[in-house]
Structure 1
Amino acid sequence: MGELEVFSNHLKTKLRLNTVLRLMDVISEGIISFSSGQINWVNHAFTSLTGYNYDEVVGRKFSNLKLAQLTDEQLVEVEESLIKTGKWRGNVQVQRKDGSAFYCQLAVNSLHNEAGFLEHSVAIFTDITGEEKFKQEQLRLQELSAAIQKSASLSAMSAGMVHEITQPLNSIKMIILGLLYWRDDSNCAGTEELYEKLGEAAREIGRIEEIIRHMRSFATLSREPEFEECNINGSIARIMKILSQQLSARGIKCISELTENLPAINANLNRLDAVLINLLTNAMQALDQVEHNKKELICRTFLEERYVVMQIIDNGIGIDERILDCIFEPFVTTKAPHQGMGLGLSVVHNVITRMGGKVAASNNEDRGATFTIKLPAFL
């Protein structure tokens, strides 16, 4: 090969390289090329993203810039991934020259020569600050909606709780009045009778303590709930008892069609109770809007393949077809403003999904609606 041909090939290679560099200089992602840890080229987008100019970074060690704020776990992950596959990708926080930070997706690729030795590495920075802020806002809204729904559920429970606590309080009152009567009467009760009455009072106080304990645990739902084996029929029976006064006052007949000996489910009991209260409250509100005198609410459970299925069925007004497909999205509602913000069903969806389950809504053929929840069974 003559010198002229060698020079020509070298010139073509240089022209191709310059073309590639110009193309890389106009794309929106920031790019760094470095070898042996030392930066040898950056594109225009990188300088715009970070505030560093070309001369400030070229020739410096990549690690000395402290651009990507990687945790110790991420550093180990990057090293292992580059050794095994020659590339790594992840979301990191990047610090600008002025000290401010932004979120980006960082992709690192290693280029090896024919002998297998590392020659160059390329890091590509894609600004995802908007996406990260959107995710954080979504998380904040989910936490807010859960708090609002918890407050609404506690409000729905309060009337039933008052009734539940009033009963044992009345029993305790009658026991105490009886003891006072015996004290004033010449024919006083014997020691055994006295102890028996005190035992009855203690049992009634225990009932009140159990109710208060349940309310307290419900009011302090943690962000990361603990899961345990739960009996879904037991949860339904407990919540139906709490809401029984409200159902009766509204003239609603409640029918339980609970399959016996169902397998347990893996759930958080308090959050499962919150789901039940939400769905039953919605059903009661739907039945409030109908005029017929045969208002019915059916709670049904059964086993379907590997799922324990629960259905809440009412013969109320049904669900507006316009929102049926998006009813579990936040702020979707047809209720009046004073009746809710449309957050309850989105919370139900989030809770059931985190338990590994599914939730669906449908209109009945005649009237009313059905909400179906499927949760994995312990088989």
Structure 2
Amino acid sequence: MKKQRENLIAAVKKSEEILEDKRGLQIADPSKNSVAGKEIELAANEVGYQDLFDNMPNGCVYYKVLLDEAGSPVDLLYMKVNSAYEKNIGRSLSELIGRRVTAVFQELTGKDFPCMETYLNVALSGEPVNFTQYFDQQDKWYSISAYSPQSGFVVEISEDTTEQTKAESERRERERQVALIERVASLGTLAAGVAHEINQPLQALKIMADSMIYWYDKGKETSVEKVIENCRKISVQAGYITSIVEWMQDSVNKAWSDSPEEVDVKKMIQRVLILVQERLRANGIQLRENSCDDFLMVWGDSRRLEEIVIIILVNAIDSFVSIDQAAKEIRITTSCVENSAVIEISNNGPAIPDDIIGKIFEPFFSASKSGTKLGMGLAIVKSVVNAHNGTIQVFSSHQQVTFRIEFPLYRQSV
């Protein structure tokens, strides 16, 4: 750092000498001084550059670095500014040229100037920078580039990006609101399924408890072994309810944060199956799994990925309710196809009619005539799949409905 400062001091002094020499040459008679003639020629060429500088659409400033007695850069001096910069900050040329930045912006001192420290570092290191800066006084955003054309000087080129920045901010806010609506709708859909999952073990608990109370009221003695056996069953069912509630709590807590991570597809599916196992059993549905040997990792929100699998499975379970069918089967298959992790969820329930299959991913579309479903389930599935850069397709034939989901495989860089 000390060496950089020494070089900077020397460069500033040298620049001042050169400028002074040029002033002397411009006064001299060109016919008696060939060097002066070249200077006039260069000056003529500079007219074109000056015109370009003055009329460029972006603000441009040429600063000189000012040093303190210890040789440390402390301030910037306006050397040149163009019309766009004058317009951007609302100051005239006479208010800027030859004045310190801290004198122009008197409400700011030293390094409190938003870009001061950055520019001084550019002067010391010679490394150009690009950044975005918000200025409170103007309520504007600027995209700024700064570089040092020669040691001791800094050039700033700024573009007013306020409109673009505000538009981008509004777009993100709209996306956040849409995501929030989707999350609320998703949680509503899941809540209905969770209520059913909890109701099954609760009914089992009530039956066992009522049975013991009934025989006690009848004066019938029950063996300790039988009571212990029932207590074990009650403990199992209570544990099942606890796991469902904990999963729902985690899902709600993660609803308000973006927390992408590595997700093991097969383990994710296993967690989901624990949540729906009682519902499958109650409806007499046989679950078959066919997992590939490949290590399937994707990048995303594990809870949201679990949700879409739950929604598809619950829809498959519900599809069997309206039919009298002896063999009911749901099959889950995982595979690796090129650079994609593939999940296929199939059931041998009724086919999806041709006039409906093209609409099932539309928000608020529901084939249910009961009016109890909002029709957001598969719309949420589609949205989550898209958010994870995946694709989803549905195929339907006689007693075979298959949802095929593909996600890009996540591979860690070595």
Q: Confirm or deny a common fold (TM above 0.5).
A: yes
Partner of residue 355, structure 1: none
Choose the corresponding residue for 2:63, options 34, 55, 58: 34
CA RMSD of aligned residues (A): 4.7
Partner residue in 2 for 1:327? none
2:261 to 203, 223, 227: 227
2:211 pairs with 1:178: yes
Instruction: Find the aligned partners of 1:34 and 1:101 in 2 and give their Cα distance.
Output: 23
Alignment of 1:1-379 (within 5 A): 2-3=31-32, 5-36=34-65, 37-62=76-101, 65=105, 86-95=127-136, 99-112=137-150, 118-221=151-254, 222-225=256-259, 227=261, 230=264, 231-235=267-271, 237-238=273-274, 241=277, 258-263=290-295, 265=297, 267-277=300-310, 299-304=332-337, 307-311=340-344, 316=352, 333=362, 339=375, 345-350=382-387, 352=388, 358-361=389-392, 370-376=404-410
Cα gap change, 1:165 to 1:119, in 2 (>3 Å): closer
Q: Using the alignment, how far apart are the partners of 1:207 and 1:373 within structure 2?
A: 30
The 3 A distance-change label for structure 1 pair 306 and 192 is: same
Distance 1:184 1:140 in 2: 63
* Larger displacement relative to structure 2 (84-93 or 24-33): 84-93
**Given the superposition, is the C-alpha separation of residues 342 and 365 from structure 1 closer, same or farther in structure 2, using an over 3 Å criterion?**
closer
Distance 2:286 2:114 in 1: 54
Does the residue aligned with 1:90 lie in a helix, a strand or coil?
Answer: strand
Counterpart amino acid of residue 200 in structure 1? K
Structure 2: segments with no counterpart, 5+ residues: 1-29, 66-75, 367-373
Whole-angstrom CA distance in 1 between matches of 2:364 and 2:410: 32
Does the CA-based 8 Å contact 1:92-1:105 persist in structure 2? yes
- Checking the alignment, whether the CA contact within 8 Å between 2:141 and 2:162 is kept in structure 1 is yes
Equivalent pairs: percent with the same residue?
18
Contact 1:308 1:375 in 2 (8 A): yes
Asked whether the equivalents of residues 316 and 330 of structure 2 are also in contact (C-alpha less than 8 Å), the reply is yes
Kindly provide the amino acid, as one letter, of the partner of residue 28 in structure 1. Answer: P
- For each residue in 1:170-219, what CA deviation from the matched residue of structure 2 results, as whole angstroms up to 9, or x when unmatched? 11111221221233233322444334333322332222121111112112
What is the one-letter code of the residue matched to 1:101?
A: D
Contact 1:89/1:106, CA 8 A, preserved across alignment: yes
Bigger CA radius of gyration = 2
Q: 1:119 to 1:184 in 2, by over 3 A?
A: closer
Cα shift at 1:32: 0.8
Give yes or no for contact 2:296–2:336 (8 Å, CA) kept in 1.
no
Q: 1:243 to 1:207 in 2, by over 3 A?
A: closer
Counterparts of 2:186 and 2:291, CA distance in 1:
26
| Amino acid aligned to 2:270 | G
Structure 1 residue 274 displacement after superposition: 2.8
CA contact (8 A) 2:280 2:317 kept: no
5+ residue gaps, structure 1, are 113-117, 324-331, 353-357
Paired AA for residue 295 in structure 2? P
Q: Which amino acid aligns with 2:213?
A: L
Q: Which amino acid aligns with 1:359?
A: G
Decide which moves more: 185-194 or 161-170: 185-194
Change (3 A) 1:232 1:82: farther
Q: Note if contact 1:301-1:308 (Cα within 8 Å) is conserved in structure 2.
A: yes
Q: 1:304 to 1:215 in 2, by over 3 A?
A: same
Residues 316, 9 of structure 1: alpha-carbon distance in 2 compared, 3 angstrom cutoff: farther
Q: Which residue of 1 aligns with 2:370?
A: none
Is this contact kept in 2: 1:362–1:369, CA < 8 A? yes
Number of equivalences: 346
Asked whether the equivalents of residues 332 and 343 of structure 2 are also in contact (C-alpha less than 8 Å), the reply is: yes
Shift of 1:25: 1.8
Q: State the SS of the aligned residue for 2:390.
A: strand
Contact 1:108 1:123 (8 Å CA) reproduced: yes
What amino acid maps onto 1:35 in structure 2?
K
Residue 108 of structure 1, CA deviation:
0.3
